Amino acid sequence: MVAVVRSSFEDVTVTHHASQRRAYLTLVLISLFCMMPFFWVVLAAFDPKASQFLQIPQGVTLDHFKNIFANESGMRWVLNSVVIVGSATILTLIFAGFGGYALSRTQAWWKRPLLYGIILVRIVPPPALIVPVYKVMLFLNDWVNGLINQFTADVEQQQMLSRMFSFIDGYLGLILIHCAMQLPLAIWIMKTFFDAIPKDYEEAAALDGASQWQTVRHVLLPLALPGFAAAGLFAFINAWGDFLMPLMFTSSPELQTLPLGMFRAFLRVDAIDYGFLTALAVIYTLPAVIAFAFARKFLTQTFSGGVKG
């Protein structure tokens, strides 16, 4: 009797070890697959003789990174990306903060249709919008440039204003389109976070004589902070990585952002500076990776909205 019990116990430990080994093997193989493409970009960025191929560097250099900041276009791409995606993220947070709060608190008839509508809007594939969005942007662009021409007759000023406020080949257009694309998910996230804040808190503050602004500033904002963090991180990651909008709405070199600038530099097949581009790829990727590391714990919470961030 004792012997039987022991042998079955050994069986269990044997299968336990076998499946444990299987688990490690699975994880190691999948991890290798995931890491493989990164070796090249990380090594080449520090390799004085960087090429298209994975190779052990003969020396280590920081020249490629220095080049980015010395080279006018590299620095400009970085700054343009930061300004455009940064403004779009902030704008998204403001609008989604108000929108999410209203959606969470209201009991009006439009609550339900709007929430379902937002899920459907999230599902619209951006490539399907390229033609009509281009037309909308063209229309707004003509309107804005008409205003600018009325406002000043000075050509230099016109060009400057046009660069700032144009919808095609201008900062404002890119900022607003990125913001619009990120809003559905951001509103959904904010609404879920506001749902978790009891209405009583606001009412208690109001009873204690706090003004509307004080309630928002001292009660709502601190409690909703994780929501803003989640919404902001996802908006940033998605807009930062987006390739389609810059491809459609930028043409002049002064407005080029990282994805498009890198893509166009990479198309000049005969004169690709691999060191410069890999260093730039590292710089372009780092903020996204850092943001993703913070956003990861919110990821499962956004699923209820039906669509991943």
Partner 1 sequence: MIKLTYEARRQLGYRFMMAPALLLMAAFIVFPAFYAFSLSLTDDALLGFAAQESSFVGLRNFSRLFGDPLFWNSLKVTLIFVIGSAVIGQFVLGFLSALALQRPVRYKPIFNAIICLPNAVPEMVVGFLWISMFASGEYGTLNRLVAWFGVDPQQWLYTFPLLSIIIVNTWRGIAFAMILLTSGLAAIPKDIYEAARVDGATDTQVFWRITVPMMMPTIFLYMFISTVTTFAIFGLVYTLSRGGPANSTEILGIYIYNQSFTAFQLGYGAAVAVVSLVVSMILGIIYVRALKVEV
Footprint (CB under 8 A) of partner 1, residues 111-170: 111-112, 114-116, 118-121, 123-136
- Closest by Cα among 127, 109, 309 to 229: 309
Cβ neighbours for 247, distance < 8 A, ≥ 6 positions apart:
260, 263
Out of 7, 14, 17, 26, the residue judged to bind partner 1 by CB under 8 A: 26
Are the C-beta atoms of 84 and 240 separated by less than 8 Å? no
Q: Is 189 in the site for partner 1 (CB under 8 A)?
A: no
Q: Is 4 in the site for partner 1 (CB under 8 A)?
A: no
Q: Is 187 in the site for partner 1 (CB under 8 A)?
A: yes
User: According to CB under 8 A, which residues from 262 to 281 bind partner 1?
Assistant: 262-263, 266, 277, 281
Nearer to partner 1, 155 or 207 (CB): 207
* Candidate ranges 61-69, 94-102, 155-163, 220-228; the one touching partner 1 (CB under 8 A): 94-102
Cα gap 210→198, rounded to integer Å: 17
Shortest reach from residue 157's CB to partner 1, in Å: 27
- Closest by Cα among 224, 240, 256, 245 to 289: 240
Out of 2, 5, 13, 53, the residue judged to bind partner 1 by CB under 8 A: 53
Shortest reach from residue 150's CB to partner 1, in Å: 23
* Candidate ranges 60-68, 70-78, 182-190, 225-233; the one touching partner 1 (CB under 8 A): 182-190
Cα gap 123→79, rounded to integer Å: 31
Out of 9, 24, 69, 143, the residue judged to bind partner 1 by CB under 8 A: 24
Cα gap 226→232, rounded to integer Å: 10
* Candidate ranges 61-69, 71-79, 146-154, 175-183; the one touching partner 1 (CB under 8 A): 175-183
Cα gap 68→75, rounded to integer Å: 6
Nearer to partner 1, 23 or 160 (CB): 23
- Closest by Cα among 275, 226, 206 to 43: 275
Cα gap 91→235, rounded to integer Å: 10
Nearer to partner 1, 151 or 263 (CB): 263
Out of 6, 7, 9, 19, the residue judged to bind partner 1 by CB under 8 A: 19
Rg for the chain, CA atoms, rounded: 26
